Amino acid sequence: MEKLQVNLGNRSYPITIGSKVLELDNIFWPLNPGDHAMLVTNKTLANIWKDKVFYQLRQAGIKLDQVILSDGEQYKTLNEMELIISALLERSHNRDTTLIALGGGVIGDLTGFAAAIYQRGVKFIQIPTTLLSQVDSSVGGKTGVNHILGKNMVGAFWQPSSVIIDIDCLSTLPNSEMVSGIAEVIKYAIAFDEKFFIWLEKNIHLVLALSETEISYCISKCCQLKSYVISIDERENNVRALLNLGHTFGHAIEAHLGYGSWLHGEAVSVGIVIAARVAQLLDKINKIEVNRIINLLKKAGLPTKAPKNMTAHAYLPYIMKDKKVLSGLIRFILPVKIGQVKIFTNIDKNILLSAIRNSQ
């Protein structure tokens, strides 16, 4: 078992990583015997992990209710979040309640947003069950829902009280979900850590095979990198934006094709390729490094070609609505070498269109 700490002053919280950590005593910090909590999960996980987690929480003396949502990115909506709020009110949960998110990024974001706004803010615990949520979305306090005009456009920054990462949850994931999560792992390596990128080039097959040593190291490394970034820029005023490598283009793909048509990691993978192509056209990164990036994404089984049924011009309206647009200027996160990304503005539209077309 490994413990990390996200350092945010009085909003600091622990991340616990390991095998069978859900079975440990006193793991559901800050809950104590007699506390009231609401477990939020989806229909798929309710059949796999819910009973085990329910049992552990009851053994810990927690008074527990539950709400089970539909499964899928297309259900990351205000309508689904209202189901959580209604369940809390119907079962008389007060401001001292704690929400517990058992699931991937969708459940984590929905639950966190509900916690942020229920009675003006209650505690919540993240128990991420997908690789994507374990390495990325469960840490950092970004919560929210999608809108038909843009991804994650309605939400709040609301930090969890703790994050509990049990790598055994990954054993029940479909291969496509594991591969999707690897996109965020590769993103961290491209953006912040060349040595980690080289390690992935050598060990990506062991990570995907759920070799305990490699998967634990991989999750820990990503959580360390994200925790550091968040500790210096909690609300994405500057360096936290670097975590969005590939997301501007990836979110455009998700919104245009319909949420759930492509998995988030698949869209981010193509977004990373487009971002690398833009950087190459600007002479900010060399062709050899771009090819290494593309080859690692391919090695992981991720798509590297933009969807054929989406024109280059179709990306532009979504890019203009991106959350990184400030004072009318679009900020693009582009790799300048493996292990380093920078923020660029005022990129010519024709360069963007050319990079997208070169990626199709």
Residue 111: exposure state from Cβ atoms within 10 A (0-12, 13-18, ≥19): buried
* Separation in Å, CA 56 to CA 50, 63, 237, 246: 10, 12, 39, 38
User: CA-to-CA distance for 217 and 179, rounded, in angstroms?
Assistant: 17
- Catalytic positions are 120, 142, 184, 226, 236, 240, 244, 247, 251, 264
Number of other residues whose CB lies within 10 A of the CB of residue 343: 14
Residue 90: exposure state from Cβ atoms within 10 A (0-12, 13-18, ≥19): exposed
The β-bridge partners of 127 are 102
* Separation in Å, CA 135 to CA 217, 277, 337: 11, 25, 22
User: CA-to-CA distance for 223 and 211, rounded, in angstroms?
Assistant: 18
User: CA-to-CA distance for 270 and 9, rounded, in angstroms?
Assistant: 36
* C-alpha closest to that of 109 among 83, 57, 148, 146: 146
Axis crossing angle, helix 287-299 with helix 175-192, rounded to the nearest 10: 160
CA-only gyration radius of the chain, Å: 20
Q: Are 231 and 33 in contact (CB under 8 A)?
A: no
Q: How long, in residues, is the chain?
A: 360
Residue 117: exposure state from Cβ atoms within 10 A (0-12, 13-18, ≥19): middle
